[in-house]
């Protein structure tokens, strides 16, 4: 496909980056720490540490892994914790020691945790004590030899830290009992590391930085092998994209999405440590009152979120009390942002939601709207620098402009492959180095892209293609709807039929009222007749509504 989008780039944004500029992620972090050492790096639960302080802790943890545990280069280290300051310390420390990080969702079930630890071959895990009981259940069946246990109070000094831990353990009962022999406390690891000199490790762009497990939407979760070169390339692509809008060393960024997820990992942590921003770590974004209270204390300049988070916030009266005078950028990703939500967000904050698109296998950034757009565009914008996009039909050939096709992408941010799965890698990456995304998109005559839907989510009703995103977008505009998901269910009459799952904003909403509303906005075969009301919808760790779970449930009932 001709790169006609190059003519649409914002003035000053270069079409290419130099992917050889950095050798490793840790080189980028250390560059920021050296240049902006005095600047605040992370803030969490009322505590702030600078870039220089973070770099010292990172070095201590790297020294512990190297000198005490004597982990060889390339060994896999799992990190299982929410957004706390220990997370970036453990992560950058492992990378500095030449190790591979396996990001692990602390809310995993024992089955999911066991699969990931065994598949990755991790031998060391850093776990928050609140989730150690899950680890205990699977530990004998894994290769884990070293368990480093963190507590929420670790970074607050003896007195405040002890008080925090006492409250969480004894009063709030948030730390289930566990028995794991020979654990090492996170504080002990830092002390032991600080007492021994760290020997720098020669890391190259081809070394694996992360085994980042996909959400398992196509079956068993697979580990995407993301190299230091992949992550550094995506950081540079983003740096090129944001350079006209954001100022290094001056931004304040909200990190409410979990850093163990690829979207927050790269966008919140990697990109904004490169930009030497102050990153506000939100440990529990579901506690909206406390979350919004934290926002009221700061002049936020960048907010990164997903549609469900934006939607939850704009429907709270106290959100409008936040001072948004410094807000320069709201970035949405992870799932489609609905127009109704985007309009409410801009009305309250004064800034549009700038949508981006990516996937785990691409580190994740692929496309983004220019940051100077005046309003929500409904599309995913343009490919980031040094990224090629092809839209292919069922025959594998490129489709004409304006026609939907599956996105295939190529660029320095594309993974090396799936961990220990050569056959899956060969299916995902073709002989020319293009990655299959599974997403359907269209491109207009200016080279701007718009997502239509997931290929696997396509619903065929009487031979007509129906994209759930379109149905959900319409239904979300109804004043009495809070959340919605659309799936296809089997039908003797039409092959497949539409089914809606709806969370009400107004209890008076009826199925008949919603169907009548859809008839005014959608052609007949797109109007859902089967509507089920729910108190909540299943979501991923970043708040993405899981249609797959709803489909599996519907099939189970059939």
Instruction: Map out the domains of the chain as residue ranges.
Output: 20-368, 458-557
Over residues 343-354, mean pLDDT:
97
Can you say whether residue 46 is alpha, beta or left, with left for phi > 0 and alpha for psi between -120 and 50 degrees? Answer: left
pLDDT tier, 554 (very low <50, low <70, confident <90, very high otherwise): confident
pLDDT tier, 523 (very low <50, low <70, confident <90, very high otherwise): confident
Over residues 355-379, mean pLDDT:
93
Mean pLDDT of the chain, nearest integer: 94
- The residues with which 43 forms a beta bridge, in sequence order, are 48, 280
Asked whether the CA dihedral 501, 505, 511, 514 is positive or negative, the reply is negative
pLDDT tier, 157 (very low <50, low <70, confident <90, very high otherwise): very high
pLDDT tier, 215 (very low <50, low <70, confident <90, very high otherwise): low
| Per-residue pLDDT tens digits for 10-65 | 888 999 999 999 999 999 999 999 999 999 999 999 999 999 999 999 999 999 99
What is the percentage of the chain residues whose pLDDT exceeds 90? 83
Q: Are 214 and 541 in contact (CB under 8 A)?
A: no
What confidence score (pLDDT) does residue 170 get?
96
Give the least confident one: 217-226, 439-448, 525-534. Answer: 217-226
What confidence score (pLDDT) does residue 216 get?
45
What confidence score (pLDDT) does residue 324 get?
98
Nearest to 420 by CA among 21, 118, 110, 45: 118
pLDDT tier, 297 (very low <50, low <70, confident <90, very high otherwise): very high
> Is the model's pLDDT at 468 over the cut of 70?
yes
CATH superfamily, with its number, for domain 458-557: ANL, C-terminal domain (3.30.300.30)
Over residues 138-163, mean pLDDT:
97
What confidence score (pLDDT) does residue 498 get?
95
Nearest to 460 by CA among 500, 438, 439, 490: 490
- The residues with which 443 forms a beta bridge, in sequence order, are 449
Written as six digits, the tokens of 423 are: 């056959």
> Is the model's pLDDT at 373 over the cut of 50?
yes
Written as six digits, the tokens of 188 are: 């002990």
Higher pLDDT, 192 or 459: 192
Q: What single DSSP character describes residue 524?
A: G
d(CA 92, CA 27): 10
Over residues 311-325, mean pLDDT:
96
CATH class of the domain whose range is 20-368:
alpha beta
Residue whose token pair is 């190790």: 99
What confidence score (pLDDT) does residue 521 get?
87
Where do the DSSP E strands lie in 16-175? 40-44, 47-50, 76-80, 100-103, 124-128, 146-150
What confidence score (pLDDT) does residue 380 get?
95
> Is the model's pLDDT at 304 over the cut of 50?
yes
What confidence score (pLDDT) does residue 465 get?
75
pLDDT tier, 455 (very low <50, low <70, confident <90, very high otherwise): confident
What confidence score (pLDDT) does residue 558 get?
44
pLDDT tier, 557 (very low <50, low <70, confident <90, very high otherwise): low
Q: What single DSSP character describes residue 429?
A: B
Over residues 515-543, mean pLDDT:
92
Following DSSP, what letter does each residue of 361-378 receive, concatenated?
Answer: GGSSEEEE--TT-SS--S
> Is the model's pLDDT at 218 over the cut of 60?
no
SS3 per residue for 430-473? CCCCCEEEEEEEEECCCCCEEEEEEHHHCEEECCEEECHHHHHH
What confidence score (pLDDT) does residue 111 get?
84
What confidence score (pLDDT) does residue 1 get?
61
CA distances from 446 to 138, 335, 352, 381 (A): 53, 24, 21, 10
Written as six digits, the tokens of 267 are: 């966008």
Q: Are 265 and 21 in contact (CB under 8 A)?
A: no
> Is the model's pLDDT at 87 over the cut of 50?
yes
> Is the model's pLDDT at 404 over the cut of 50?
yes
Give the least confident one: 330-334, 485-489, 533-537, 552-556. Answer: 552-556
Q: Are 410 and 388 in contact (CB under 8 A)?
A: yes
What confidence score (pLDDT) does residue 272 get?
98
For the entire predicted model, the pTM comes to 0.88
Residue whose token pair is 């005046």: 374
Pairing state between β 184-185 and 124-128: unpaired
Q: How many residues does the chain have?
A: 558
């Amino acid at each position: 496909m001709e790169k006609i989008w190059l003519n649409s780039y914002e003035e000053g944004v270069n079409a290419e980056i130099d992917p050889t500029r950095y050798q490793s992620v840790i080189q980028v972090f250390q560059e920021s720490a050296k240049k902006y050492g005095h600047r605040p790096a992370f803030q969490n639960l009322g505590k702030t540490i600078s870039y220089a302080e973070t770099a010292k802790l990172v070095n201590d943890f790297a020294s512990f892994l190297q000198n005490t545990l004597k982990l060889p280069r390339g060994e896999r280290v799992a990190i299982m914790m929410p957004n706390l300051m220990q997370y970036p310390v453990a992560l950058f420390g492992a990378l500095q020691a030449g190790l591979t990080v396996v990001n692990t969702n602390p809310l995993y079930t024992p089955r999911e945790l066991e699969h990931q630890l065994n598949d990755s071959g991790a031998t060391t895990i850093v776990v928050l004590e609140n989730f150690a009981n899950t680890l205990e259940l699977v530990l004998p069946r894994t290769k884990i030899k070293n368990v480093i246990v963190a507590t929420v109070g670790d970074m607050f000094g003896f007195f405040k830290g002890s008080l925090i831990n006492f409250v969480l353990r004894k009063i709030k009962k948030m730390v289930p009992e566990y028995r794991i022999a020979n654990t090492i406390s996170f504080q002990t690891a830092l002390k032991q590391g600080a007492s021994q000199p760290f020997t720098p490790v020669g890391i190259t762009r081809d070394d694996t930085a992360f085994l980042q497990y996909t959400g398992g939407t196509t079956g068993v979760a697979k580990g995407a092998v993301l190299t230091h070169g992949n992550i550094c390339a995506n950081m540079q692509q983003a740096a090129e994209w944001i350079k006209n809008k954001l100022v290094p060393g001056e931004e304040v960024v909200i990190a409410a999405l979990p850093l163990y997820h690829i979207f927050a990992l790269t966008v919140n942590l990697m990109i904004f440590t490169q930009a030497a921003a102050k990153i506000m770590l939100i440990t529990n974004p579901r506690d909206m009152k406390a979350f919004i209270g934290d926002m009221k204390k700061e002049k936020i300049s960048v907010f990164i979120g997903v549609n469900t988070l934006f939607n939850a916030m704009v429907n709270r009266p106290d959100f409008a009390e936040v001072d948004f005078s410094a807000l320069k950028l709201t970035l949405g990703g992870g799932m489609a942002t609905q127009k109704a939500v985007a309009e409410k967000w801009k009305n309250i904050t004064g800034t549009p939601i700038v949508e981006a698109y990516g996937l785990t296998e691409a580190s994740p950034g692929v496309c983004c709207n220019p940051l100077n757009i005046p309003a929500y565009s409904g599309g995913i914008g343009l490919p980031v620098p040094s990224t090629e996009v092809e839209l292919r039909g069922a025959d594998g050939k490129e489709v004409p402009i304006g026609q939907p096709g599956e996105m295939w992408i190529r660029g320095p941010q594309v993974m090396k492959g799936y961990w220990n799965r050569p056959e899956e890698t060969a299916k995902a990456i073709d002989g020319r180095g293009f990655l299959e995304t599974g997403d359907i998109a269209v491109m207009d005559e200016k080279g701007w892209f718009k997502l239509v839907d997931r290929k696997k989510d396509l619903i065929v009703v009487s031979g007509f293609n129906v994209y759930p995103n379109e149905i959900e977008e319409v239904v979300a505009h109804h004043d009495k709807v809070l959340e919605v998901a659309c799936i296809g269910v089997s039908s003797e009459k039409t092959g497949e039929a539409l089914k809606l799952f709806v969370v009400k904003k107004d209890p008076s909403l009826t199925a008949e009222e919603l169907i009548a509303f859809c008839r005014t906005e959608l052609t007949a075969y797109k109007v859902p007749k089967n509507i089920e009301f729910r108190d909540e919808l299943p979501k991923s760790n970043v708040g993405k509504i899981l249609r797959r779970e709803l489909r599996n449930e519907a099939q189970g009932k059939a």
